[in-house]
Structure 1
């Protein structure tokens, strides 16, 4: 899913590349194989087996999207224009004005989707965020609306886990829904102070919810799901001066979260309740010597303690890297990559000319 633009709404996450090939510098002992799958040799998506769902990774490139077949080392691709959200069942294309939505099955079969909305896919959730940002709809793979929710203020943050969908709004309200649309958590806006939701993240196992709210100081609130409800564990002040919307992800092992505010990247230790700002020098400042010349976007967790970050240059919009952090420490830089996703012991990076897969990599 494409994540190369920044705005009020969180975008989406994902595709992968590696450091240990011609384009990488990972230690050989950490991987079992490296395969570069070139777009020039890719197969048309129309011939992908419709029953193939295991061992495939969906990806979005600059002008091609599709699936990497991990078992057979094949790429199935389809051209697209504008923007796209993709999962293992298919994809939706759209433009920046939330119009011209087209729904596709996995083999590329197309049908119009009558909606003015931004599609958002994660963890088998297919959500349409209304163009005015005042409501959402959960749809199935055919585009049928399963349920809808409206909000009093615009949505400013969204995330999902295997079990829950979390929504934050401009006035500071929080809603967490289960697959049936039932509210598991509902926090209403405070009338006494500005509590705008700048970002939120659910852990992959649905046990933790981290919320970033307020202006100065910002607050990090941590919730844990126990006894069929979310309970607040603690909150911490975040003394940073920024008005950027945040992108966030909780590591799969629930040890920490990584959050970005445009040119600022922060590591937050969940257990010990402290944060630290990740300086440009810690992230290998190859792209730019000046940290304000870059923008960071958190793509998501890649397994265990790994989190992927997209780093883009403001001076050269075509220039980007993917950074892999382990407990906030840089362990890999994929120069020129557009995004990153992982599945079990596979990490891949998408480039303009293909996808490189690293198999067997363990942190």
Structure 2
């Protein structure tokens, strides 16, 4: 589907394929390779539509970069062989605005909804819908080819791709809305893409660091919710339920990344995840080291989410007053994010400012969008702890 230069055609064709699957698979059973079946069906629907448009003399010029049959695509000498990764790279065209590239990848490469992407980017859904529309118009008007980049172009598109893969993992690791806190299939798909990406660019440290980060975090998934689907805080997790094989893989990957003054974002985040992973119990976690890493990450990114996590680390390292100061202004930057008032509520509670803490808990409950986190906040409020 990366050969099509029109997102409307790609979307419609894939939707037609899903409709066809709903009827065919229910009658004949699920095929051995469902993804290949969907792609082939979608491709054929797209070709049928193109032929109709040509017959009606309404076909746009250069609608396709090329028009091979699906069988011919198996023998292409492209560097990027994975279909989803091909589409991700195609969406990273430098002519598109940086904030549009990752959004396009998540919408059309990963299939997230506009609402889900908006929450990941911390913007209103209408803003994200307009951003996606502008990007699609830009592709059509400027004739931007929806094709994988040449090998020499891979590195220049790397930052946008890493952002999209990590956001995909983030939605899988901690869902932004719904009944489930964890969406393991999304997280696993992001990790799979991370392995593919690392193989394409083995000399780049940040893809390896991102992969290490995702693997280390994903290793804790079984301990993050209890048997009733309730959220379990990191400090209270049963660490015997952390996946030892995945932890070992994460540390091995991190061994290929060097820490230094110029360490990138994902290297610093992976080092933070490693500190949590190597602590046998919550009590021996090196929070001072984590707070220092977050300070470097904060200086590098300016991200309000990083600042919020830094505040948590500073509080755990023993200075809730300094932590509370770090959260000043974050409510304005993240007006719809429930963790801002939740963190402030906890800090205010530690500082003995009960009335302010209760008001902040109420703000957090008003904003929370997943049921496990809502239940967790209610337990905190009711227990007064």
Say whether the fold is shared (TM-score over 0.5): no
Q: For the pair shown, which has the larger CA radius of gyration, 1 or 2?
A: 2
Of Structure 1 and Structure 2, the greater strand share is in 1
Greater relative contact order (Cα < 8 A, sep 6+): 1
